[in-house]
């Protein structure tokens, strides 16, 4: 969630009047997202304690709709009649465009 956090902090700088323009970025690595143990800092004295998946909590869970973000992708596809084949074709074309640009063939 570092890229999103950087963008939020940049937007806040503009909103607070501390900057006119900001450039933000980040690189996500969901495979390196940690598990949180919320009670570990002060000690979980008796009984079990929970581990929280940081990838879900900070990246893939919508706190407003209280559901996994993938649910919205499914809803969007259903609402707008976007088939898996259409999604795959779009991904293929997007990759091909990026590759042509990278090779200087755009």
Distance CA 11, CA 17 (A): 10
Distance CA 51, CA 19 (A): 38
Containing H/E element for 67?
A: strand 67-68
Distance CA 104, CA 98 (A): 10
Q: Which residues pair with 67 in a beta bridge?
A: 62
Confidence of residue 86 (pLDDT cuts 50, 70, 90): very high
- pLDDT of amino acid 28: 76
For residue 40, give every residue at least 6 positions away whose Cβ sits within 8 Å of its Cβ, in sequence order, or none.
Answer: 49
Q: What is the pLDDT of residues 2-29, one digit of tens each?
A: 788 899 999 999 999 999 999 998 887 8
- pLDDT of amino acid 106: 62
Pair 49, 39: CB distance under 8 Å = yes
Res. 50: pLDDT tops 70? yes
Rounded mean pLDDT, 28-34: 85
Q: pTM here?
A: 0.54
């Amino acid at each position: 969630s570092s890229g999103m956090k950087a963008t939020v902090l940049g937007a806040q700088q503009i909103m607070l009047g501390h900057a006119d323009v900001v450039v933000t970025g980040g690189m996500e690595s969901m495979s390196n997202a940690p598990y949180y143990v919320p009670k570990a800092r002060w000690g979980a004295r008796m009984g079990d304690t929970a581990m929280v998946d940081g990838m879900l909590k900070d990246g893939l869970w919508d706190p407003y709709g209280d559901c996994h973000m993938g649910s919205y992708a499914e809803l969007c596809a259903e609402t707008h009649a976007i088939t898996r084949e259409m999604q795959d074709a779009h991904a293929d074309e997007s990759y091909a465009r990026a590759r042509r640009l990278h090779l200087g063939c755009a």
